[in-house]
Amino acid sequence: MGRNIAFLFPGQGSQFVGMGQDLVEQFPGVEHIFRETDQICGKSITSLSFEGPMSELTLTENCQPAVTAVSLACLSVLNESGVKPSVSAGHSVGECASMVSAGVVNESDALRVVHKRAMLMHREALANPGSMAAVIGLDMEGVQEIVAEAKNGGILDVANHNTAQQIVITGQKDPVARAVRLAKEKKAKAIPLKVSGAWHSGLMQGGVDEFRAFMKDIPFSPPRSDMMFNATAQCETDPERIKDIIANQLVSPVRWYDTMRKMLDDGVDTFVEVGPKKVLAGLLKKIASPDDTVNVFTVQDPKGLESVLEAIS
């Protein structure tokens, strides 16, 4: 059966204690990914992933490489089983694994990039405290109106456009609090998020140039298969332009809704979430219309892999 397959890679917030462990037990060939992650990070990300504690695993500098390692392990077993995507995308830090899927970077360099990214974001969050909130029940135009009104000279941005009416805002604490009040006045839900930084806001600006400089000597290649990027909701083929997009993603919104709609409109009919949990699968089910033909799978363990192989064989 011919299928147009997309691989989707989850971001921070998808972590759970025990992730990746049964994959390593059944597919020992992926163990090197975890060993290399530990070496690059200078600590046992593997132990945190397999055994916790959750409080340590959730820390940005641990969570981002841990989720990436698990996603890369899942990607590896999919590829070894002969399943390849026609297009890839990753949600926020998920772009690092997505670049491996598309052939932009190798596993080792993706892990180096994600480690640097996590450390920079952690540093900027400590230096520039902020907060985030999810607004549910307003479209993008409505949220942008609230952001413009609540900003009042401060830093307030859209972080994630996850579904048509699930949009995350980010920035300094006072503007975010004002925006939450305004959203509630418009009868929308506005839920403060438990995060350690104002991700994808101007408060991360101090890390952008350093991140771009770090990637200068890392070899990026033109994608072998399509990859759609968060900041643009478009594909890109030029390696230097890709480095710019990845660096600027720290302060750019994750245009996930636009990305998924573009894939659906382009005829992608099979979506595989590659990595821990099922967050992106859940978002996709809210984005897809009744007219869309959509098959959604998740691969975070051997059982998920088996389901995908049975479905597409």
The torsion angles phi and psi of 139, rounded to 5 degrees, stand at -80, 180
Annotated catalytic, 32? no
Sheet holding 131-136, edge to edge: 156-163, 166-171, 131-136, 189-192
Is residue 159 within 8 A of residue 171, CB to CB? The reply is no
Tell me which of 92, 98, 131, 201 is the catalytic residue: 92
If you ran DSSP here, which 8-state letter would residue 2 be given? -
Is residue 64 within 8 A of residue 12, CB to CB? The reply is yes
Measured distance CA(115)–CA(119) in Å, rounded: 6
Beta bridge pairs of residue 263: none
CA atoms within 13 A on the CB side of 137: 11
Tell me which of 91, 122, 161, 200 is the catalytic residue: 200
Is residue 91 within 8 A of residue 10, CB to CB? The reply is yes
CB atoms within 10 A of CB 232: 16
Amino acid at 213: A
Sheet holding 226-227, edge to edge: 226-227, 87-90, 5-9, 270-274, 295-299
Is residue 130 within 8 A of residue 206, CB to CB? The reply is no
Measured distance CA(89)–CA(81) in Å, rounded: 20
Annotated catalytic, 108? no
Just list the catalytic residues: 92, 200
